Amino acid sequence: MFMPAINLNNKTVLVTGAVGFIGSNLVIELLKSFNPIKIVGIDNMNDYYDVSLKEYRLNEIEKLSNSESKNSWHFIKGNIADKDLIEKSFTDYNFDVVVNLAAQAGVRYSITNPDAYIESNLIGFYNILEACRNHPVEHLVYASSSSVYGTNKKIPYSTDDKVDNPVSLYAATKKSNELMAHAYSKLYNIPSTGLRFFTVYGPAGRPDMAYFGFTNQLLNGEKIKIFNYGNCKRDFTYIDDIVEGVKRVMQRPPEKSMGEDGLPLPPYAVYNIGNSSPENLLYFVETLQKELVFAGVLPEDYDFEAHKELVPMQPGDVPITYADTSALEKEFDFKPATPLQVGLRKFATWYKDFYKEKVI
C-alpha cells in the first residue's frame, strides 16, 4: 500500500509547463485530489504547436478551479529561462513542492532548432535548481525522458543502466537535467526525483506526436510516414497513468541522510514511468485507424493502405523503447496499465469533439 510522506493538502505547489500536455492534466488531477491546495502554474504559451490547444487546456483548468472554492490556482505567463521571473515567483509564493515539466520537447525539432533546447531545458532548469537552493522546498520533481537511453541494446530499460550515449540534443539535455539535479541534491540537500516518461499519449496531447500527427494527415488526405519500415516499437503510456505516477512521486521525496564523511548523501532518485508493453508501429497504426473510424473521425471506407508509406529510420530515433517499472511498482505501488486501444479510443473521441468543423 502506498503511504505518502508529504500530505499535499494545504501545500503550495509550482507546476512549470502548466498548460502543456502533462502539466495541464497534472494540475487538474491535483485540484480534484486535494482540498485545499494552492497551485501556481508557469508556461510561456509558445507556438511550437497550435496555441489553441494550450488555451483549451488552460480554460479546462480555470473552469475546474472556479468550481473548487477552497482551492487556489494562479497562472503566470512567462519563461523559466527568465531568472528574475523564477526568483520572484519563489519569493512571492514560498513553494513547498515544485514539479518542473517545462521543456522544449521533440527529438526531430532539436536537430533544426537547438537554441530552444539550451534555453528551456538547460538554462531554465538551472534557474529552477537555483531557486530551490535559495528557497528550500520539500521536493523537486522534474521531467526526464526515455530518450536518455539512446540506442541501449539491453531491454527493458532500467534506471540502473548506463545512459552515456544520447542520440539527440533533446536526449542530451534531459540527461544533463539528471546530472544537474544530482549535483544540487548533493551540494544543497535538495530532495529531487527525475521521471523518465515513455511516449505519452491521450486527449489534447501534442500534435507533433505520431498518433496526433497521423490523425491530422489522414484527415487531410495526406500520406503518413512509418519510420524504419514499421520495425519500431514504442512503450505507449496513457496520460492518466503518467499523471498518477507523478502525483504519487510528489508525495514521497527521497529521504535525507548523512554519509560517513559527515556530509549529506544526495536525496536523489530517478524512475521510469511507462506501460512496460511496447507495441509495434504497424499494430499501433492499425489500432489508431480502427478507433478513428469508430469515433467517426474518418469514414468506414477510408483507404488506409493508399495513405501509408514505409520509410527509413530518421536521425535521433531509436528502434525500441521499453520501460522497466519495477522500482516504481515497489516503492509507489503503481504500474501503468491502460491498454493502447482504450487510450486511443479516448483520444479519437476527444479529437472528434474538439475538431468538430474539421471532421464534419
- Say whether 201 is catalytic: no
Q: Are 48 and 20 in contact (CB under 8 A)?
A: no
Q: Are 209 and 344 in contact (CB under 8 A)?
A: no
Q: How far apart are CA 353 and CA 233, in angstroms?
A: 29
Q: Using the CB atoms, write b or e for 124-142: b if 16+ within 10 Å.
A: bbbbbbbbbeebebbbbbb
Q: Which one is catalytic: 149, 170, 201, 271?
A: 170
Helix (H) or strand (E) holding 286: helix 281-295
Which alpha helices (DSSP H) does 198-279 contain, by range?
210-219, 239-250
Sign of the dihedral defined by the CA atoms of residues 81, 82, 83, 87, in that order? negative
In this structure, how many other beta carbons lie within 10 angstroms of the beta carbon of residue 55?
A: 12
Residues noted as catalytic: 170
